[in-house]
Structure 1
Amino acid sequence: MLNIKEIMLSVAPMMDWTDTHCRVFHRALAPHARLYTEMVHANAVIHGDRARLLALDPVEHPVALQLGGSEPALLAQAARIGAELGFDEINLNCGCPSDRVQAGRFGACLMREPGLVAESVAAMIGACDVPVTVKCRLGVDDDHRYEVFQAFVDRVAEAGCGLFVVHARNAWLKGLSPKENREVPPLRYDWAYRLKRERPQLQVIVNGGIAGQDEATVHLDHADGAMLGRAAYHDPYLLHRLDVAWWGGELRSRAELLRSLRPYVEAQLERGVFLKHMTRHMLGLFHGERGGRAFRQVLSEGAHKPGADWSLIERALDVTESFAARDAA
């Protein structure tokens, strides 16, 4: 069992988004949140550029490596590598609905192969000394039977998996894009709640469609935690509000939180990382606030230019804060 306080709030693995720079930013906002990498295929972990794919800053902990794949031996090898590199959890993706994933027989397709998932989980558990977890959907396409979903979970739990992150909607493998699969299939939080009620020994995290503080908090009455996806990206300050509401502490300003990242940003710049790779994750920090558009504009227009450095972030903050000053006048 994972520490309940480390799984109450988490940020979903998001392809092309939750890289190490994103996770360091989210950690500054939410000291108690559990963070996840983008999905990395087991073959890429074994044969690819690990320094890039599995980049990990010490401040990120607790952080999970999410793996894609369907070959137990390869997943086991990748899980061992991930654990040796310092990841606190290895998570198997059984929910991604993209065409590439379908062609490779992994992701959401695995919902139809509980035996293979169980074999994979058992192999991963045998290969590493950190928790192995699963992120899944409720089902695929037109299968709307709770019993099938529960049977999937039971089979995988028998193999040793004790935590399931449940994206509480089906994956439609035909006719919908990955983006539409995050929005169109109806949400059924009650299935995740029922799973927790009927299988109290399992840890169940609810994911999907959580857009605000109240929505996230309600899930704690029925499950072990709430995982935010796009909301955490488009309105990252929500993470800070949740962290303070659930664990206590003082609510810090957006500017103060961002300025706390200056040492990290400048260290990365010295290593040759371009500012744009870091600021792209910060664009939503002032979401819904006066000056938020100006903040995004300054960063978007300047971060890609040669020599862009921390001073650009200060300029974006100055422009944003000028709106607040005008409102207060």
Structure 2
Amino acid sequence: MTPPPSIPIAQLRLSVAPMMDWTDTHCRAFHRVLAPNARLYTEMVHANAVIHGDRHKLLALHASEHPVALQLGGSEPALLAQAARIGAEAGFDEINLNCGCPSDRVQAGRFGACLMREPALVGDSVAAMIAACDVPVTVKCRLGVDDDHEWDRFAHFVDSVAAAGCNTFVIHARNAWLQGLSPKENREVPPLRYDWAYRLKRERPHLQIIVNGGIATMDEATQHLEHADGAMLGRAAYHDPYLLHRLDVAWFGGPLRTRGDLLRAYRPYVEAELARGVFLKHITRHILGLFAGERGGRAFRQVLSEGAHKPGADWSLVEQALALTASFATAEA
């Protein structure tokens, strides 16, 4: 049997996590401007939605986004295989199976984090997906579920899935609590245990291991590279997107560009989308954090938040926000 394709190691160093309601195609196109070398991920899409839903919307993909992965949810190998094939044919560079989301809706559908307790099923699903498409199939998972704090159980899950042909794992380095915590609390309350991800890489060096969870600064992200193949940023990349640019420059080289220069590099995409009938508010919601922590950042957000939903709003509103933000910097100087 032909071994499944692998992801070039350089493409794993920096990535942006799949985030529901956030990492749509507009967000990913913006992140690509900021970080030419980062690997990007879609929001999680259920296999049934890919098969039966509006693929034009669900699988929207701009040419600038590559390399970009489609994250799937589901637990039926045949359906996941069909959705994986559709995703690969749509142009995605990787198909990622979600084994980490803890929401009630996900549990009711028997997918997401609850799959951590069904390694054989995940292995069957991964094998079916690999057989159905010609791009790498990867898994994003937690360390365990609820009170599962046994290393051997976690290692057995990884080994079972690896035996099915998956050699790339994104490890959200905390447990998922299926009862008693909201999805937001599940991202913050269960303690982080990066050492398990590090141990996994140390004891299974043939696997590609990316660390995810709680990474908020350049130093934190960089430290993970000493122990794993990559660091995946989540909310930090969304709320402070300039961090993503700084990491890309630090790890891959290239000039450090100003926030204004980066945003203007995004203009051709924005104007093309506006010409297609997309409302500005659907695009600018992803750039509100660009000036996070900077003087004038609040004014930048306010101009866009108040104006982007109005009929006829166009790029001139973004320029207005940039000009107002620049006036704060000038006043400070």
Under TM normalisation by the shorter chain, which class is it?
over 0.9
| 1:315 matched to 2:302 | no
Match of 1:253? 258
Match of 1:228? 233
| 1:268 matched to 2:268 | no
Which of 109, 123, 132 does residue 104 from structure 1 map onto? 109
How far apart, CA to CA, are the structure 1 residues paired with 2:79 and 2:126?
A: 11
How far apart, CA to CA, are the structure 1 residues paired with 2:31 and 2:151?
A: 34
Alpha-carbon offset, residue 327 of structure 1: 0.9
Deviation readout 1:109-149 (Å, 9 max, x if unpaired)? 10000000000000000000000000000000001011100
Match of 1:8? 13
Please give the secondary structure, in 1, of the residue aligned with 2:311: coil
| 1:130 matched to 2:135 | yes
Which of 80, 83, 99 does residue 85 from structure 2 map onto? 80
Which of 276, 280, 286 does residue 285 from structure 2 map onto? 280
- In the superposition, the TM-score normalised over structure 2's length comes to 0.98
Please give the secondary structure, in 2, of the residue aligned with 1:209: coil
Match of 2:194? 189
> How is 1:118-157 mapped onto 2 (pairs within 5 angstroms)?
118-157=123-162
State the one-letter code of the partner of 1:89.
Answer: E
Deviation readout 1:67-102 (Å, 9 max, x if unpaired)? 000000000000000000100000000000000000
Match of 1:178? 183
How far apart, CA to CA, are the structure 1 residues paired with 2:56 and 2:7?
A: 27
Alpha-carbon offset, residue 249 of structure 1: 1.1
Alpha-carbon offset, residue 2 of structure 1: 1.3
Alpha-carbon offset, residue 206 of structure 1: 0.1
How far apart, CA to CA, are the structure 2 residues paired with 1:260 and 1:227?
A: 24
How far apart, CA to CA, are the structure 2 residues paired with 1:141 and 1:221?
A: 29
| 1:19 matched to 2:24 | yes
How far apart, CA to CA, are the structure 1 residues paired with 2:137 and 2:267?
A: 34
How far apart, CA to CA, are the structure 2 residues paired with 1:180 and 1:261?
A: 33
Please give the secondary structure, in 2, of the residue aligned with 1:166: strand
Deviation readout 1:16-42 (Å, 9 max, x if unpaired)? 000000000000000000000000000
State the one-letter code of the partner of 2:99.
Answer: C
The count of corresponding residues between Structure 1 and Structure 2 is 328
Please give the secondary structure, in 2, of the residue aligned with 1:124: helix
Deviation readout 1:297-316 (Å, 9 max, x if unpaired)? 00000000000000000000
Match of 1:238? 243
Q: Structure 1: which 5+ residue stretches go unaligned?
A: none
How far apart, CA to CA, are the structure 2 residues paired with 1:201 and 1:7?
A: 14
Deviation readout 1:142-183 (Å, 9 max, x if unpaired)? 010111000000000000000000000000000000000000
| 1:162 matched to 2:164 | no
Please give the secondary structure, in 2, of the residue aligned with 1:96: coil
Deviation readout 1:234-289 (Å, 9 max, x if unpaired)? 00000000000001111000000000111111110010000000000000000000
Which of 212, 219, 230 does residue 207 from structure 1 map onto? 212
| 1:32 matched to 2:26 | no
Please give the secondary structure, in 2, of the residue aligned with 1:143: coil
Question: What's the % identity of the aligned pairs?
Answer: 82
Please give the secondary structure, in 1, of the residue aligned with 2:176: coil
- In the superposition, the TM-score normalised over structure 1's length comes to 0.99
How far apart, CA to CA, are the structure 2 residues paired with 1:265 and 1:241?
A: 23
Please give the secondary structure, in 1, of the residue aligned with 2:228: coil
Match of 1:95? 100
How far apart, CA to CA, are the structure 2 residues paired with 1:203 and 1:5?
A: 11
Give the root-mean-square deviation of aligned CA atoms: 0.4
Match of 1:302? 307
How far apart, CA to CA, are the structure 1 residues paired with 2:217 and 2:278?
A: 33
Match of 2:3? none
Which of 71, 75, 93 does residue 70 from structure 1 map onto? 75
| 1:116 matched to 2:131 | no
How far apart, CA to CA, are the structure 1 residues paired with 2:207 and 2:76?
A: 25
State the one-letter code of the partner of 1:115.
Answer: A
Regions of 4+ moved over 6 Å: none
How far apart, CA to CA, are the structure 2 residues paired with 1:73 and 1:99?
A: 24
How far apart, CA to CA, are the structure 1 residues paired with 2:111 and 2:228?
A: 27
Alpha-carbon offset, residue 200 of structure 1: 0.3
